[in-house]
């Protein structure tokens, strides 16, 4: 049984006509140790679907089940800070915090017991190819690629079972994209994480195990 299951999921904007859905009857299942890509054209609802999976939005129809339990019945804050890690296309890091502070903050919020948070944060940064010197920099003093790595490190900091990434390589060059994909692959294969990537990049689609395509 998959860790995450979408059952007849449909979404319609609040102010939209009753029959106008962004998508409808979505039935996907995601398993640990696998990489998934959700692709589709612009406006197909990729990011909206990701919002439903992360609990940032609620389904108009159907249900999202985590380990067989409906998200509607779960504490979504707890779900987001413990069970899933989110990597946004625009990174969504706190600009006034340093790189390492952003990572430690996620560990603090999750309240998962971690002995030496600073040490773990530095290890995570090292695993995504960032140095200790870079850890002390403020977010705005890091490049896009570096910020994306910080976002990935942050999503891994409290050891979630699922990593959901929205266009994680959209702003990156080929070389960096390749490095990021390597990290995701390692997380899926070696650390048994479920990786879900929303993308329209072919190279990402080539790297994943399964591809779901959203069609209008």
Residues linked to residue 29 through DSSP beta bridges, in sequence order: 5
DSSP string for residues in 126-153: HHTT--HHHHTSBGGGS-HHHHHHHHHH
State the nearest-atom distance from the C-beta of 1 to other proteins, in Å: 25
Tell me which residues in 39-68 interact with other proteins (CB under 8 A): 51, 54, 56-57
> Any contact of residue 146 with other proteins (CB under 8 A)?
no
State the nearest-atom distance from the C-beta of 171 to other proteins, in Å: 11
State the nearest-atom distance from the C-beta of 80 to other proteins, in Å: 4
* Nearer of residues 34 and 145 to other proteins, judged by Cβ: 145
> Any contact of residue 74 with other proteins (CB under 8 A)?
no
How far, in Å, CA of 149 to CA of 178, rounded? 12
* Nearer of residues 103 and 188 to other proteins, judged by Cβ: 103
| Residue 165 near residue 196, CB atoms below 8 Å | yes
- Report the DSSP pairing between strands 23-30 and 4-11: antiparallel
Instruction: By CB under 8 A, name the one of 60, 89, 135, 201 that touches other proteins.
Output: 89
Q: Which stretch binds other proteins (CB under 8 A): 21-29, 32-40, 98-106, 120-128?
A: 98-106
DSSP string for residues in 7-35: EEEEE--TTS-TT--SEEEEEEEE-TT-E
State the nearest-atom distance from the C-beta of 209 to other proteins, in Å: 26
Residue 76 sits at the vertex; the CA angle it makes with 97 and 45, to the nearest 5 degrees, is 85
Q: How many positions of this chain bind other proteins (CB under 8 A)?
A: 26
- Report the DSSP pairing between strands 162-166 and 194-199: parallel
The 105-124 contact track toward other proteins, x by CB under 8 A, reads: xx-xxx--------------
| Residue 195 near residue 5, CB atoms below 8 Å | no
How far, in Å, CA of 147 to CA of 161, rounded? 22
| Interacting residue ranges for other proteins, rule: CB under 8 A | 51, 54, 56-57, 77-82, 86, 88-90, 92-94, 96-97, 101, 105-106, 108-110, 154
């Amino acid at each position: 049984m998959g860790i995450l299951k979408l059952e007849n999921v449909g979404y319609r904007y609040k102010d939209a006509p009753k029959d106008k859905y962004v998508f409808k009857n979505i039935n996907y299942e995601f398993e640990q140790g696998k990489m998934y890509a959700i692709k589709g054209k612009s406006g197909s609802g990729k990011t909206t679907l990701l919002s439903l999976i992360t609990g940032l939005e609620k389904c108009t129809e159907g249900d999202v089940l985590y380990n067989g339990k409906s998200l509607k019945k779960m504490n979504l804050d707890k779900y987001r800070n413990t069970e899933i890690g989110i990597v946004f296309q625009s990174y969504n890091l706190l600009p006034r915090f340093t790189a390492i502070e952003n990572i430690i903050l996620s560990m603090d919020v999750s309240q998962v017991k971690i002995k030496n948070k600073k040490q773990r944060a530095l290890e995570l940064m090292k695993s995504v190819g960032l140095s200790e010197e870079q850890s002390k920099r403020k977010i705005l003093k890091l490049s896009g690629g570096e910020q994306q790595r910080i976002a990935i490190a942050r999503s891994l900091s409290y050891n979630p079972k699922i990593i959901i990434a929205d266009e994680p390589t959209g702003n990156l060059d080929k070389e960096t994209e390749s490095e990021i994909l390597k990290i995701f692959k390692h997380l899926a294969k070696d650390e048994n994480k479920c990786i879900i990537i929303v993308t329209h990049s072919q190279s990402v689609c080539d790297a994943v195990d399964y591809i779901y395509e959203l069609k209008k």
